[in-house]
Amino acid sequence: MADPTANPEEIGSIEVDRKLCIGSASCVAIAPDVFELDKEGIAVVKNPNGADAKTIRDAAQSCPVNAIILKDKSGKQIYP
């Protein structure tokens, strides 16, 4: 696993794996302008530019089931 702290500005995309998400909302607590829970209680990305890269990374790392997938600008997965 690459360490996203090495290049925290390199986040190109954010995805939530709906099959993994358990709706714990820790990502919403850390980055409420990026993530929200939908009607099914599953996290969705409402604004990928709603927080800086460090905050987005912190949110991804807070996810208890590693459902938040971060990719760099070339499409390479950088977390988890």
* Secondary structure (3-state) at 78: strand
Residue 2 in tokens: 């690459």
In the set 5, 7, 22, 47, which binds ligand SF4 (CB under 6 A)?
22
Smaller CB separation from ligand SF4, 49 or 74: 49
Residue 65 engages ligand SF4 in binding (rule: CB under 6 A): yes
Does the bond joining 80 to the residue before it have cis omega, within 30 degrees of 0? yes
Task: Return the closest-CA partner of residue 25 out of 3, 13, 42.
Answer: 42
Binding test (CB under 6 A) with ligand SF4, winner from 51, 67, 70, 78: 67
Which chain residues interact with ligand SF4 by CB under 6 A? Answer: 16, 21-27, 35, 43, 62-65, 67-68
